[in-house]
Structure 1
């Protein structure tokens, strides 16, 4: 039985499984709280990071809260976004 993580986590079992697999608390919570019927609607049709400008990557990094983004190169931004 999964531990109750309170009202901020919708699916405690999914959250715990993801944490055991090494996902960050933030990412595990985001997935556990998502409506899995709506996730991934683009189905891989989103623009690839390599095709975006450094400015676009910087804005995306800002949206998701990646620290140190102002000192990152385009390649570093891509890696940080992929690993976030």
Structure 2
């Protein structure tokens, strides 16, 4: 799943906050839930418009970004 098919931003949806494509569920919500100890299955129960494939693809994408040479670019972007 490519990133454009996974994440969308639209100024008319939650003021442009990144959301799972085709939903109004912010990407950040998944990470907030996981950080709080909520299981992926419980997150998916709470947000049925997000598919398991979308959530897993997002986590895989985040893993790739954080475990590759892209980390230097992330450091620069966060600075």
TM-score norm. by structure 2 comes to 0.27
TM-score norm. by structure 1 comes to 0.25
Q: Greater strand percent: which structure?
A: 2
The higher radius of gyration belongs to 1
